[in-house]
Chains A and B, each alone.
Chain A
Amino acid sequence: MSSSLTSIYDNIAYALQLHGKAITKLQEQASSGNRVNRASDSPSDAYRIIGLNSQDRSLASYLGRVTELMDSMEMSSSLLSDMASDLADARTVVTQIVGGIYDAEGQKQVANRLNNTLEQLVSLANTKEGNQYLFGGTDTDAAPYRVVREGGKITQVIYEGSHEARSINVAPGLEVETFHVGDDIFRSDDRGDPVFLGETGAKAGTGTSNVRGDVWLTVDHDGTNYRLSIDDGATFVTVPAGGQTNQAVTDSRTGRVLYVDTTGINSTGVEMVRVPGTYDIFGTLISLRDALINERGVPRSELLDFIDRGAAAIEEVRNLVVQTNTSTGSKIAFLNTLKNHLEDTQFNVTDETTRLQQADVAQIAIDLSRREILYQMSLSVAGKLLSTSLLDFVQ
Chain B
Amino acid sequence: MNDFGIALSGLRAAQTALDIVGNNVANAATEGYHRQRVELSALDSVPIGNVEIGAGVSVSGVTRLIDGLLEAEIRRQQSAHEQTSQELSILTSVESSLGEFTDTDGLNATLDAFFKALQNLAAHPQERVWQNEAISTAQTLAGEFRRLGTLMMGLEEQLLLEAKNTAASINSLVTQIAELNNKIQSIEISGQHANNLRDQRDSLIMSLSKLADTETVERPYGVVDVSIGRLPVVTGSMTMSLEAGLQSDGSLSVYVEGDEVATINVQAGRMGGLLALKNELLAGFESDLDALAKAIVSQVNQYHVQGLGQDGSFQQLIGWAMNGTDLSTTATPVTDGSFFLRLTNTTTGLVERHAIDVNVSAATPDTLDTIAAKIDAIDGVSASVVSSQLQITADLGYTFDFLPAVLSEPTTMNLTAGSPPTVAVSGLYNDSDNQTFTFRAVGGGSVGNGLLRLDVTDADGNIVTAVNIGAGYAAGDTLELDNGIKITLSLGQVNDGDSFEIEAFATADTSGLLAAAGMNVFFSGSGALDMEVCSEIANSPGRIATSLGRDLTDNMAALNMAGVQDEAVESLDGMTPSQYFHRIVADLGMEVSLKQSRQDNIEAMIQNLEQHRSEISAVNVNDEAALLLIYEKMFQAVAKYMSSIQTTMTTMMDLI
Contact = CB atoms under 8 A, between A and B. Distances in A.
Interface in B61-107: 92, 95-96, 98, 100-101
A61 B565 CA distance: 13
Interface in A225-259: 246, 248, 250, 255-257, 259
A168 B122 contact: yes
Given A2-B611, A65-B119, A38 B621 contact: no
A132 interface: yes
Contacts of B559: 167-169, 175
B250 to A, nearest CB: 27
B474 A209 contact: yes
B46 interface: no
Interface in A110-136: 131-132
Contact of B618 (A7, A65, A175, A207): A7
B619 A57 contact: no
Contacts of A210: 448, 474-477, 491
B622 interface: yes
B112 interface: yes
Contact of A169 (B109, B119, B610, B628): B119
A362 interface: no
Chain B's interface size range is 35 or more
A387 interface: no
A176 B213 CA distance: 64
Contacts of A141: 126, 553
B426 A163 contact: yes
Query: DSSP class of A's interface residues: helix, strand, loop or mixed?
Result: mixed
B586 A47 contact: yes
Contact of A389 (B92, B549, B625): B625
Given A38-B100, A53-B109, A207-B448, A139 B553 contact: yes
Contacts of A137: 553
Contact of B603 (A14, A42, A68, A175): A14
A370 B597 CA distance: 22
A10 B611 contact: yes
B562 A169 contact: yes
B242 to A, nearest CB: 31
Contacts of A175: 559
A50 B122 contact: no
B589 A39 contact: yes
Interface in A206-236: 206-210
Interface string A154-175: 0000000011101111001001
Nearest to B92: A40
A212 to B, nearest CB: 9
B645 interface: no
Contacts of B620: 2-4
B610 A46 contact: no
Nearest to A56: B112
Contacts of B474: 191, 208-210
Contacts of A257: 448, 475, 491
Contacts of A11: 607, 611
A57 B618 contact: no
Nearest to B566: A172
Nearest to A161: B553
Contacts, number: 213
Interface stretch (B221-229, B343-351, B436-444, B577-585): B577-585
Contact of B95 (A38, A178, A206): A38
A269 interface: no
Interface centre among A2, A7, A40, A138 (most CB of B within 10 A): A40
Interface centre among B100, B108, B553 (most CB of A within 10 A): B553
B585 A2 contact: no
Contacts of A358: none
B446 interface: yes
A5 B589 contact: no
A169 B472 CA distance: 37
Interface string B193-234: 000000000000000000000000000000000000000000
Interface string B613-656: 01100111110011011000000000000000000000000000
B75 to A, nearest CB: 16
B127 A131 contact: yes
B428 interface: yes
Interface centre among A65, A169, A191 (most CB of B within 10 A): A169
Contacts of B610: 7, 10
B614 A6 contact: yes
A148 interface: no
Interface centre among B119, B426, B428 (most CB of A within 10 A): B119
B127 A3 contact: no
Interface string A189-210: 0010000000000000011111
A49 interface: yes
Contact of B586 (A9, A10, A39, A168): A39
A246 B450 CA distance: 11
B513 interface: no
B409 interface: no
A206 B451 CA distance: 12
B321 to A, nearest CB: 35
B551 A162 contact: yes
Interface in B539-592: 549, 551, 553-555, 559, 562-563, 566, 578-579, 582-583, 585-592
A65 B562 CA distance: 14
Contacts of A6: 28-29, 614, 618-619
B588 A39 contact: yes
A390 interface: yes
A75 to B, nearest CB: 15
Contacts of B601: none
A29 interface: no
A233 B52 CA distance: 162
A14 B607 contact: yes
A38 B471 contact: no
B126 A39 contact: no
B100 A50 contact: yes
Contacts of B585: 39, 46-47, 50
9 contacts: A7-B615, A38-B96, A43-B589, A53-B109, A58-B112, A167-B559, A178-B123, A191-B477, A206-B449
Closest 9 CB pairs of A and B: A39-B589, A4-B618, A7-B614, A40-B592, A47-B586, A210-B474, A43-B590, A2-B615, A139-B553
